[in-house]
Chains A and B, each alone.
Chain A
Amino acid sequence: MSGPGPSLRRRTILGGLLSLPLVAFVRPESLVQKSAEFTEVGNSIQMTVSLPALIRANDQEALDSIDSGFDTTMEYTLRVWEHGTRQRVATRTVVMKLRRDPWKKHYLLRTKGSSGWSKRSFTKRSDAIAAAVTLDGIKVCSASLLTRGGDAGPFYFVEIVAMRNPLRRGRGGGRGTETHRGQGRDAEWFRRLVETLAGERAKAEKVVHVRTNPFFLVPR
């Protein structure tokens, strides 16, 4: 070997190593897998999956929100991907709103689907919650968008981003800037002022981000 070969290889390996963690997080396949059932009804692919982590029985914040008399919103974003590729086939959002009616003392769950809002009523909170965290026979995409290849593939899966009470942020809190100038103006102060700029902020009271098991369409 001579010339630029080894150095190029080193650079390639180094680049590969550095980008490995990024690639791992970019791919939706790397998400935690959640078991789901898929059925084909007409031209629709329907999915049934339950995400109990969105409202746990001991989650006091969630329970208070549901019992408050105002809506607790569950927003499910469903993305259908072709397994092994980065090709997104379809995206859908399903919104559910759950609240307790303090006059009638029952729970009302409303689901916004393609044909408008549908409603279900429950007398027990646990049943209402179970329904609110379950996507039962929800259409994820049209079958015509997928290729029929049987167990030879292609395979598809659904990425689910479930948010409880998504947070809508406005601009500025109107509280003024806490500059902590009183701590002194040393190098540490300057560093802190410009340090923790970046970083995620919570998008919702609770976020569950999973993917389903792969599925395929049987040939006709």
Chain B
Amino acid sequence: MAWAALLGALFGLLITNSSAGASPWAVTLADHDDASGPERLDDRRRVLLVERVVITGREQVSERQIMTILEREGLVAGTELVWPDDERVDRVRNRLRATGYFKRVTLRVVPLPDDLTRVELSVDVVERSTVSVSDVYLGTSALTPFHGGIALAERNFLGRGVLLGGALVWGAQPRIARSRRQQAYKVFAEAPRLRSAPLGVLASGWFISASEPYRVAGAEDDPTPTLFQTFEYDRIGGQVGLSFPLTSRLEVAADYTFERIESFLPANPVRVDEAGVVHELDLDLLDGTHRHTAVDFSFTYDGRDELFLAGKGGRVVLDIRASSGATGSEYDYIKLVAAGAYSFRLPWRHWLTPRASGGQIGGRAPLFERFYSGDLSAWTPGRTQGLRYSTRNPFDVFGTGIDNREYGDLFGRVDLEYAWPLFRRTRTRGVYGGDLYLSLGVFTLVGNADERRRRRAANEARVPIGAAADLGLRLDTALGTFNVSIGNVLRRTPL
């Protein structure tokens, strides 16, 4: 130890000029608390007084949001800071990063002139865009030559943590006589928390102008537009809701939906099948101007933080929608939808996620509330903002007749997804991470009682099974999550 102390003193003298030219080992010292002199390698802790806190680089995020996090950790003007390794500094940095508002967060200590104990604490931030693209609608089909649109969301509106979003989609003239262009517009705002109160609020509004195709001739799996006619309806309405976090992972929500529907139904719609038999059609919508209202109760269990801490976690959602005269509606039905997924981290750091979802409708729901086969298949166009831009049904991989189904009152779907993380980074010029994924699954869609009777009489499967598989790249970008997959291409092309 005496030798070490002597060496330490000798090296202490050399340190003054230690720089690039000197071998780094030449200035290596053992840890000596008894070293002295102005050039000693001093890393002893020191208590500093934070004279003021300065925030720089802020544009969209409010100062209040940053200060709230600093206050929670007690790093405000007038408090003491243990330099150089106060744990609160790391915690503040991580908390600010966890908000998702910042690309870069640096806490800096700036000494005040001629003062060894009083400092300015500078919080330098570089914001990331809080605008995200929720969806890009772009496609073409045998029915609609082109439809396109976008859904955007701002996650920190006015620097108050309010989610504000909107979506619009517009389609070209369908290839059916006397049809019209379909379009939809939607805006919504959601405050997941009202200040510190355990309460969230939601409001949204929409206008949808639909030209819904219905089959009048041909085989049920034939998507040729000339075999269809359309009927028009407009929906204008909104939704208001409240959410309550029961625990940090479990949230319940209650919403009220109200809309005015103006529909123009054809008189006595019929379909003539290949055998020439005429079938009367129920278009699942009331005629003329009427009301549709509903109350929703939803339960969301979100265990995703467990996923990143323990390598496994899940999310479960249950939604119950009821519509009747009691809610002011002219429709009577109840709709139940549940979905859940659970992810496991495999020993080689890939992820396996089984997923299941299902739903049932009791009563007579309007057409746009019924389950649609295109929404369940990975390869078939689903509805976009409630609009149907294609007449193509799912591929019948198993030969069970799923390609004959359009709407149903009962569905189920199970998938297994294998995800292969390719890269992940905190600092980026646009792409934060990418995963390659492969999912395999099956689904079913079952019609209402009338349809089931008809299928049984025709000796067709009442519970057809469809295949759902996809392979693609999931990119987490500054603008949102994008999937580049085979299913995405198939859904957007006129096969």
A interface list, Cβ under 8 A from B = 21-22, 25-26, 59-61, 64-65, 67-71, 99, 101-104, 108, 110, 115-124, 126-127, 131, 136-137, 167-188, 190-191, 193-207
B203 within 8 A of A: yes
In the complex formed, the residue of A with least CB distance to B135 is A188
B151 within 8 A of A: yes
Question: B161 touching A177 by the CB < 8 A rule?
Answer: no
Q: How distant is the Cα of A73 from the Cα of B38 in the complex, in angstroms?
A: 25
Interface of B is mostly: strand
B302 CB, min distance to chain A CBs, angstroms: 5
B253 CB contacts on chain A under 8 angstroms: 179, 181
Question: B421 touching A126 by the CB < 8 A rule?
Answer: no
Known: A69-B84, A181-B190, A181-B255. A61 touches B104 (CB 8 A): yes
Question: A206 touching B425 by the CB < 8 A rule?
Answer: yes
A70 CB contacts on chain B under 8 angstroms: 83-86, 89, 107-109
B residues contacting the other copy or chain, number (CB 8 A): 119
Known: A169-B308, A182-B203. A116 touches B31 (CB 8 A): yes
B42 CB, min distance to chain A CBs, angstroms: 8
**Could you name 28 residue pairs across A and B whose Cβ atoms are closer than 8 Å?**
A21-B420, A102-B110, A118-B31, A119-B41, A120-B24, A123-B19, A127-B24, A167-B94, A168-B94, A174-B248, A177-B251, A180-B188, A181-B190, A181-B243, A181-B255, A181-B298, A182-B202, A184-B206, A190-B337, A193-B300, A197-B307, A197-B351, A197-B353, A198-B419, A198-B435, A199-B476, A202-B433, A204-B426
A182 CB contacts on chain B under 8 angstroms: 163, 165, 188-190, 202-204, 239
Residue of B31, B153, B186 touching A184 (CB-CB under 8 A):
B186
Q: How distant is the Cα of A188 from the Cα of B381 in the complex, in angstroms?
A: 12
B476 CB, min distance to chain A CBs, angstroms: 7
Question: B372 touching A187 by the CB < 8 A rule?
Answer: yes
Question: A199 touching B474 by the CB < 8 A rule?
Answer: yes
Question: B371 touching A181 by the CB < 8 A rule?
Answer: no
B468 CB, min distance to chain A CBs, angstroms: 10
B18 CB contacts on chain A under 8 angstroms: 120-123
Question: B94 touching A181 by the CB < 8 A rule?
Answer: no
Question: B108 touching A183 by the CB < 8 A rule?
Answer: no
B108 CB contacts on chain A under 8 angstroms: 64, 67-70
B304 within 8 A of A: yes
Residue of B248, B305, B427 touching A61 (CB-CB under 8 A):
B427
Residue of B204, B341, B386 touching A197 (CB-CB under 8 A):
B341
Known: A194-B341, A198-B417, A199-B435. A184 touches B385 (CB 8 A): yes
Question: B90 touching A65 by the CB < 8 A rule?
Answer: no
A196 CB, min distance to chain B CBs, angstroms: 6
B19 CB contacts on chain A under 8 angstroms: 122-124, 127
Q: How distant is the Cα of A68 from the Cα of B355 in the complex, in angstroms?
A: 45
Q: How distant is the Cα of A201 from the Cα of B385 in the complex, in angstroms?
A: 31
Lowest 10 CB-CB distances: which A-B pairs, in order? Answer: A182-B188, A176-B192, A198-B351, A187-B375, A69-B109, A194-B341, A200-B421, A182-B204, A198-B343, A200-B424
Question: A183 touching B339 by the CB < 8 A rule?
Answer: no
Contact with A along B118-129 (1 / 0, CB 8 A): 000000100000
Question: B243 touching A198 by the CB < 8 A rule?
Answer: no
In chain B, residues 326-369, which have Cβ atoms closer than 8 Å to a Cβ of chain A? 337, 339-343, 345, 348-353, 355, 357
Q: How distant is the Cα of A179 from the Cα of B355 in the complex, in angstroms?
A: 18
B352 CB, min distance to chain A CBs, angstroms: 8
